[in-house]
Amino acid sequence: MLFTAIAGMLLATPAMPPWRVLLFGTLGIALVAGAAAALNHLVDRRADALMARTRARPLPRGALRPAEVGVFAALCGAAGMLLLIVFTNALCTALTAASLVGYALVYSIVLKPRTPQNIVIGGAAGATPPMLGWVAVSGQVEAGAVLLFLIILIWTPPHFWALAIHRRDDYARAGVPMLPVTHGVAYTARRIVAYTALLWAVSLLPAAFGVAGAPYLAGAALLGARFFVLAWRLQRDVRRAMPTFRYSIVYLGALFALLLVDHGVRVASAAGPLLR
């Protein structure tokens, strides 16, 4: 998450972002994200106790009390907001606050326990870090920021649904209506294929909009092809769920690394004639 936020900052300008924005903006986003995660643990503590993947979290195993987690979340959120309003701008601060509300309240309380589309809608909150980084530097929501947001928004469902297929018994036991529980593995696998195909197309848009160049375009095409192949194979073999999930993490990191490398090459090429 922080890597994509930093990537958004670096991609927002051909020059190096101000060090105060880079340092304290990243720290502010991290603190607010920590607050959102803590609130999510607080809301989900009973369901977490029923799931093998989450029962070792601090609240289910009794290492922390709910009040302590609430205080931690409040302090992290307040400190993060203060850093953002002082060192970035009002728009970045407002969008970060909206992301906190979206994840900790809308997703965790309203969507997650009620609809199998929870991750599709709630994923918008988790997709904001690169946009927040971009806006922290530029002060406005530009096309590049929206494209980075869209990439993570569309990446989120196949990423989480692959894990949900592997952990479907956990989610069923906890009463969480994840798609494999409500609609079955076969249906979920088909949705993963559809989303990876859409992601493959959307991941090429930065090149179409001039945010990235040919090196990124080639790399994104190859990374997306691999993701799509894994998703296609998952339809026929449920044991591919965890390899697909693990690759989704590698995919996102590599895609944003490609964006940064491509950006650096383009900036260096543009500066070359000036230096000569």
Nearest 5 degrees, angle CA 6-CA 7-CA 8? 90
Question: Please, is 195 exposed, middle or buried when counting C-beta atoms within 10 Å of its C-beta (0-12, 13-18, 19+)?
Answer: buried
Q: Cα(33)–Cα(130) distance, rounded to whole angstroms?
A: 13
172 closest CA partner among 51, 43, 41: 51
Per-residue confidence (pLDDT) for residue 3, from 0 to 100: 94
Per DSSP, the residues of 28-49 read HHHHHHHHHHHHHHHHTHHHHT
Rg (CA), the chain: 20
Per DSSP, the residues of 121-184 read HHHHHHT-HHHHHHHHHHSS--HHHHHHHHHHHHHHHHHHHHHHHHTHHHHHHHT---HHHHH-
* Domains of the chain, earliest start first: 1-140 (1.10.357.140), 142-271 (1.20.120)
Structure tokens at 21: 């924005």
Q: Cα(185)–Cα(61) distance, rounded to whole angstroms?
A: 30
Q: pLDDT of the chain along its 276 residues, tens only?
A: 899 999 999 999 988 899 999 999 999 999 999 999 999 999 999 999 999 889 999 999 999 999 999 999 999 999 999 999 999 999 999 999 999 999 988 888 888 888 998 888 888 888 999 999 999 999 999 999 999 999 999 999 999 999 999 999 999 998 999 999 999 999 999 999 999 999 999 999 999 999 999 999 999 999 999 999 999 999 999 999 999 999 999 999 999 999 999 998 888 776 655 445
Question: Please, is 144 exposed, middle or buried when counting C-beta atoms within 10 Å of its C-beta (0-12, 13-18, 19+)?
Answer: buried
Per DSSP, the residues of 233-263 read HHTT-GGGHHHHHHHHHHHHHHHHHHHHHHH
- The model's pLDDT over 169-219, given as tens digits with 9 standing for 90+, comes to 999 998 999 999 999 999 999 999 999 999 999 999 999 999 999 999 999
CA dihedral over 160, 12, 18, 271, signed as positive or negative: positive
Structure tokens at 110: 């309203």
Contact 105, 231 (CB under 8 A): no
* Amino acid of residue 122: G
